Chains A and B, each alone.
Chain A
């Protein structure tokens, strides 16, 4: 018995010892952190935030970062540390008005397009004006610009997007026109024609074209530049997944990859351009700065990208790194630089998608009030949000429409106006090029969220409004004429005003006289006394028009020299106009005596603005202002004092300081922020 127990005890001991040895020898299952697609995209280097509205950038071979700022200047920035080397706002004997594109020539010089002056100029790498480029080429509104070569690489070619004609002009090094790429060359899979918005040469004779509103990228074989281009590949569609876009505004190439500034996905995607893998690639910078002013790798509404490879050291500008990527974010008034990583994409990576889900408080540049309902919109999801104002604080009660091309869907909301005491809403859809009239149900007795409050009534295509070809509607207003609603739609092309009845069936279009050749008509409003005011952006002017003798007759102007960039116009109280000044982050209250009050200033505290974009007047005279850059709305009393701040699902009436606002935002968004790019 004792021997049996001893054998048993020895067996147990051996088994335990063997188990211990084996457990130590076996590999342990330790979770390994797979790097994310955002972390792998590249390393954050620096940011330069001494800018106003950076909309395009280029990198010279010596590492100088040149930025086109739409406020009217170009800026040279050191690629090494982001310090500003020079600024310039003149082009010969003219002043730059609205630089929209910039490209670096192999010799170090820069080509700059100015959309308002309708000219392209050549500058030295030190920002000195050299000469006008291609003065004999008619370009209606030059925006994006790229320098490359045609097939074989021997013939230099410059591609310039003509935003007025929706074409791309191909121009030789001597400034002669080679040919134009038209919309008919950019055929989408559904048979529609795409509008070119941005360009980049990816190789000799190969041009990548981005179509913002159609969320598509085309790869064109230009051949010798004289024969029609051939589409080698096209990809895209609206969405958050790799290969899809939400407003691709800028493209760039380092020869190997194509980089796309994907504005409403808040990222810069890196994709293959070479067929048959065109559009493949998961690495992306950014993936959304979840709260305003977040930086150091987090990207917020990027609109342009530049990539430099094989940079050399010259003038002390270039960094030690041979590659550099720079992203323009006018929403944050800054550019950020990254060091690109990974020539080949790793097989094992954790895919990070934009931190967006459904409708957000990312309010766009339109607001309208009638019958106790406030309408605003979210550009990312192309939806309209409805607030009920009957209980004092705005309460989100419904959401209308969504992204798409069907009649009840929306591509891009450019303007809105509430009709019929808030029971109807007219929307200008710039991507689908139509007006859409919505109807809402009667307000229920209880304030509840009703997702199906609205239904589409009808649409009217822009093509049936007697507008110029591809004309657009930038703003809407309504007045009461003989007891019936009269809708006024402002078309910047012309410019002209379209007058429509409430059913959209009768319409007449008439030109208006612009007070300045470079200013753009951006907003229209009807005063209580029936005056029609049109706001021109820069130089900012309110022009008053009266309908007399079957035409719009100028009836005076209000010059606004202290307004940096007029954005939207609303009718204020007692005959005043409310002018949103996007450059100075405020709302100017204007009468014939001039600016009588300024509401707000630059910042994040309650009562301050960051890129305000619209105002609307409530029945009691209060001002509702869209504070786009802070992702919120604010209400101000008749005397201009702040009353409350609101967004979807929240509002408060105790004013917070900037520190308090930032602390709340950081705390609320902390979990999401930890997953962002760093």
Chain B
């Protein structure tokens, strides 16, 4: 009984010591570098628990994000904001997604919704406790 418990604790410790963001993402993850080069950011879209290439118009989805500091990989992520806007139209989403930040630089925005076709700019603001740096990318929906 004691041995399995010890293994469980060890396993938990190993998981915690290996930040998810450092784990090699599978092909469903896409990559960007933040606007001042401080963060390596992987992201993917999840609908109904399955990774998909792109969100669908008027279909809720979850955006999963993993970020690791390129200045110091041990630097923890203190906070994260996830939002999206249509710059050509001057508006954002009609919904407020629920952003959850897990340990070791991963987070997700649940309940995102692109309510119309066109270019959406996804903005992820990463807070290391000193500055809040933006990573951004475009998603064009037909």
Contact = CB atoms under 8 A, between A and B. Distances in A.
Interface of A: 402, 406-408, 437, 439, 451-452, 455-461, 464, 503-505
A458 B87 contact: no
B81 A457 contact: no
Contact of A406 (B83, B129, B130, B136): B83
Contacts of A504: 130-131
A457 B130 contact: no
Q: Which 10 residue pairs are nearest across A and B when measured between Cβ atoms? A: A458-B133, A457-B35, A458-B131, A459-B132, A460-B131, A457-B36, A456-B134, A407-B125, A504-B131, A458-B36
A437 B90 CA distance: 21
A408 B132 contact: no
B32 to A, nearest CB: 12
B110 interface: no
A455 B134 contact: yes
B136 A460 contact: no
Given A407-B81, A459-B132, 10 more contacts: A406-B83, A407-B123, A407-B134, A408-B123, A455-B35, A457-B133, A457-B134, A458-B131, A458-B132, A458-B133
A455 B132 contact: no
B130 A407 contact: no
B105 to A, nearest CB: 17
Query: Which of B123, B131, B133, B136 has the most C-beta atoms of chain A within 10 angstroms of its own C-beta?
Result: B131
Contacts of B131: 458-460, 464, 503-505
A112 to B, nearest CB: 43
Contacts of A407: 81, 123, 125, 132, 134
B37 to A, nearest CB: 9
A459 B133 CA distance: 6
Given A504-B131, A505-B130, A505-B131, A458 B83 contact: no
15 contacts: A402-B90, A407-B132, A408-B123, A408-B134, A439-B35, A457-B36, A457-B134, A458-B132, A458-B134, A459-B131, A460-B130, A460-B132, A503-B131, A504-B130, A505-B131
Interface in B15-36: 35-36
B86 to A, nearest CB: 12
Nearest to A437: B36
A455 B136 CA distance: 9
Contacts of B35: 439, 455-458
A449 B74 CA distance: 43
B122 to A, nearest CB: 12
Contacts of A459: 125, 131-132
A301 to B, nearest CB: 26
B85 to A, nearest CB: 8
A402 B89 CA distance: 13
Interface in B69-93: 81, 83, 87, 90
A487 to B, nearest CB: 13
A136 B38 CA distance: 52
Contacts of B83: 406
A437 B37 CA distance: 14
Contacts of B133: 457-458
Nearest to B126: A458
A460 B132 CA distance: 6
Nearest to A438: B35
Interface residues of B, number: 16
A177 to B, nearest CB: 39
B75 to A, nearest CB: 11
Contacts of A451: 87
B126 to A, nearest CB: 9
Nearest to A459: B132
Contacts of A408: 123, 134
A351 to B, nearest CB: 23
Nearest to B81: A407
Contact of A503 (B36, B81, B125, B132): B36
Interface in B106-142: 123, 125, 129-134, 136
A116 B57 CA distance: 57
Contacts of B132: 407, 458-461
A437 B130 CA distance: 14
A505 B37 CA distance: 13
Contacts of B129: 464
A437 B132 CA distance: 10
Contacts of A461: 132
B60 to A, nearest CB: 21
Contacts of A456: 35, 123, 134
A452 B36 contact: no
B25 to A, nearest CB: 24
Contacts of A457: 35-36, 133-134
B119 to A, nearest CB: 10
Contacts of B130: 460, 464, 504-505
A526 B87 CA distance: 36
Query: Which of B35, B123, B133 has the most C-beta atoms of chain A within 10 angstroms of its own C-beta?
Result: B133
A505 B127 CA distance: 12
Contact of B87 (A406, A437, A452, A503): A452
A464 B78 CA distance: 14
A455 B131 CA distance: 16
Nearest to B92: A406
Contacts of A452: 87
A451 B88 CA distance: 9
A452 B136 CA distance: 13
Nearest to A506: B130
A437 B38 CA distance: 14
A407 to B, nearest CB: 5
A504 B133 CA distance: 10
Contacts of B81: 407
Nearest to B36: A457
A276 B123 CA distance: 39
A91 to B, nearest CB: 46
B109 to A, nearest CB: 14
A503 B36 CA distance: 8
A505 to B, nearest CB: 6
Contacts of A464: 129-131
A464 B81 CA distance: 18
B94 to A, nearest CB: 15
A402 B35 CA distance: 19
Contacts of B134: 407-408, 455-458
Nearest to A457: B35
A439 B35 CA distance: 9
Contacts of B90: 402
B3 to A, nearest CB: 47
A407 B133 CA distance: 9
Contacts of B123: 407-408, 456
A346 B83 CA distance: 43
Contacts of B136: 455
A458 B127 CA distance: 9
A464 B127 CA distance: 12
